[in-house]
Every structure is written in C-alpha cells, then in structure tokens.
Structure 1
C-alpha cells in the first residue's frame, strides 16, 4: 500500500461535521482539535496528537462525520482510504471496529441527549471567546 500523506497548515480544517468522507487519518506529527459547533459556540471534544487516529467512526461504519477537526499547528497526516480496509485488516478486525463504533455512537447519542453528570472528570478545557471566534471564522471560510 502506498501511504498518502496530507500536509495541513495551522488553522486548516480537515473534517466538517456531516461530511460524507470516511477516510481514516493517523497523525504523524502536529496536533488536531476535534470540536462541535452549536450556532457560533465551539465546544472542544479532544486533542489528537502524534500517533493517534482521527476519523475512525466514519471509517468503520460509513456514516457522516460526527465532529469538526482542525489543525492547531502544522500537521502531517497519513491517510487510509476505506477502499484499503480489506487489504490492511483481517475480517475479524473490521468486525471488531464496526462493533466498537456502533457502541461509541450509541454512547455519544446518550450523552448528547441525556447529558452526563461530571464529578472529578478531567475534560477538555473550554475555549476562550477569542478562540471560538477564530475557529468559527475558519469554518465560514472553508
């Protein structure tokens, strides 16, 4: 398999919530921010750094992207298109990925509709108004 590299500049958006792209990405270097958007409010979900994957839910279940992903520093990604899935993974691993993805989407849905009680939970630090404004502006430009 030929690895396809993708170079991102700081502030570049790689995924938009609702996109149909199902490519899996591995961060080779750099850092990504995964976030949701409600009107103009930007809610950070996670930071993805070197040797971590992003896009795994859509990769395994073929559904649209569940969040936005933006480079927060210059970043190099290795892309794994879904067409390479059977070439790269045994059948049991694909089934495991699909099963885990189904569970994660179900839990995401429960949390977003019913909420979650927080008690001594380390989460992602909220963004400042200026950070939210900058990210929202980049989404509008993309």
Structure 2
C-alpha cells in the first residue's frame, strides 16, 4: 500500500485525519507543539507540521473513499500522478518528531547547484540539491519530499 498526500481545507488537517481513522483508513497528520501568544496569555498549541496536508495509506483502488470525509479537497499530484510518499520518508518524519533535538546535520564543502546526499540526521541518505550557501547555513531542496531544508553550518 502506498502513502498518498491529501490536500485539506485550511485548519482541517487534524479533523480530517481523525475522521479517516474512524473510517478505518490509515492516516497520519504530523504535528508539533508551538507557543502562541495572545494579548493576555501564552499557550502551547499542537499544530500540523504541514499546513493543509494529511498522509493516507491505502490501496490505489480505494483512493476515492477519502472524499466521503468533510474537509478533504483533493490529492496532491506530482507529474500528473498522485504524489506517493515512501514509507521510509514517513518513518523519518515520525522519528524526527519523536526526538527533534537529537539530530544534527554537518555540512562542509557544498556548492550551489550540486546534488548531494545528506550524510547525517533525520534526512540521512536523502538526495538534495544545494540551492544557496550562506555564511551561517545551507539551503537544500529535498525534491523527493517537496520541501526546502535550512541547515546550519558547523
């Protein structure tokens, strides 16, 4: 079974994931805790790591079942096909969220435009393209995950 990416209505990620789980669909909405400031107080709030995205694992023939859930907009597509996320990428996200302070990435001599394999940390063994080299950090594009990673230089 493949992991697919659902696009949801804004602020509906956790509700959609809960409803999908109730239906028996394996769903994953990675969340992180942030401190939010209001005029009278600060509060820790659990927010989705990826805005408007929920990961679902199901058979190709069952993909339309998710549209029975209010808040689901569509699947995320890549090159004309529904975007498929590898099991190891989902596991990497889960592992990173379980202990975010234990991972460190060290980079030394990369140049813009160079294709590299991340040597350490949560994205270890992921292919990336060096987009920028700054004084204190690198900016990497992880094409397989569709995201940009900012990594501090050592």
Give the TM-score band, short-chain normalised: under 0.3
Instruction: Pick the structure with greater CA Rg.
Output: 2
The normalised TM-score by structure 1 is 0.27
- Compare the two structures and name the one with the higher helix fraction: 1
- Compare the two structures and name the one with the higher strand fraction: 2
Name which structure has the greater RCO, CA cutoff 8 Å, separation 6+.
1
